[in-house]
Structure 1
C-alpha cells in the first residue's frame, strides 16, 4: 500500500473514532510502527492531525462562532484557562472549547453522539490527551479556581493515582467520569458551574 493510501485510511479511521494509537495503526495497516510514524509526520506537517500521548487525533480547525471561541467556555461561559481547557471537534465541523474537564464531561453527557473528538492537556505534564483514553481525578483537594466538583485530566492512570495519593480525589475512566459528574451535579450544595447559561 502506498503512503498516500495509508494516510487516507488513517484520516478515515480518525473521523470515525476520534483518537488512534500508533500500535493499533501498525496492526491495522500491517506495517511497522516506524512506517506509521512517518505517515503521521506527513499528516501532522499538513496540519491534519495532532500527536497525542501514545497516538494521534484530528487537528482542530479554527472556528469563530459566538460563544464557542477559545476565550469562553461553551458550556458554562467562564473564561478559559489553557492549562485546564478541553477542545471538541463536533460532527458539524464546529470546534467548542471548555474551561475544564468538568464542563467537557457534562457537554458529552448532554450530547452523547458528540463530540467526535475531544482533547485536553495532561494536568501534570501538559501534553495532549485524547479524552476517551484519559484518566480523571474528581474532587481533589487542590484549588484550580474552576468548576466544582473539580475534575483533572491525566494521560496515564499511574500519574492520576500518584496525584490522588497526594491531593485526594477519586479516579475514573472517561465513561465512569461522564456518569459520575452528572451524579455529583445533582447533589445539593456540592456543585458550582454556570451550566444553565451555557446549556444548548
Structure 2
C-alpha cells in the first residue's frame, strides 16, 4: 500500500489535519509505486481472475455492482465510515460508454469473451475532482453460483491510465463473459496548495503521522457526548 493512498484515505475527510500534513510530507519524499494486483474467485475446477496494474487493494463480489453497498461489502479499505459513500460514475459496455470519467479499450478479446486484455484511462481532472476511485469489471453469471461476478480495484491516487485483464478457466460454454466496466468515486482531492514540510525520513514521518492520528482519536473518545 503506497503512502499516496494512505494519505488520501486520511486527508480526504479533513478530520485529522495534523496527521494529514505529516503524511503529505512523507509521500512527497517517497518513490514507492503501486504494483499490478490480482484477485481471483475459485469453485471446484473453475477459476475467475481479475488483474489491474495500478491498484492499492482488490476484492471480488456477487452480482452486478450498482450501489455503494456493493463496494462497501467488499470490506477492508473499501468499507469507509458511513453509508452510501461511493458514487457510480457510469459504465463502459459493448453498447458504448456512458461514463464521463472512464474509457476502456479492449486489446485482446471481445465483449462477452472469457479471456480479455484491455486498457483503462481516466478523464483529465479526475484526481482534481475526487479523493478516491474504484475500478470494477463485471462478467456474466458463470457455471456455478459459488463464483464471484465482479472484481474491484482501489486505483492508486494520481494514476490516469494502464492495463487490466480478466480470464475464466475450467468452464466449457455457459456464461461468464465480459459484461461491463465501471468507475466509482468518493471524497475530495487533497488541496495541491498544501506544501509538505521538510522531513528526516519517510519511516519516521509515517510513525509520527500515525501517532498523531491515534492521539486525536483518543481525545475525541474522551469528549463528553
TM-score range, shorter chain: under 0.3
TM-score (norm 1): 0.25
TM-score (norm 2): 0.23
* Larger relative contact order (Cα-Cα within 8 Å, sequence gap ≥ 6): 2
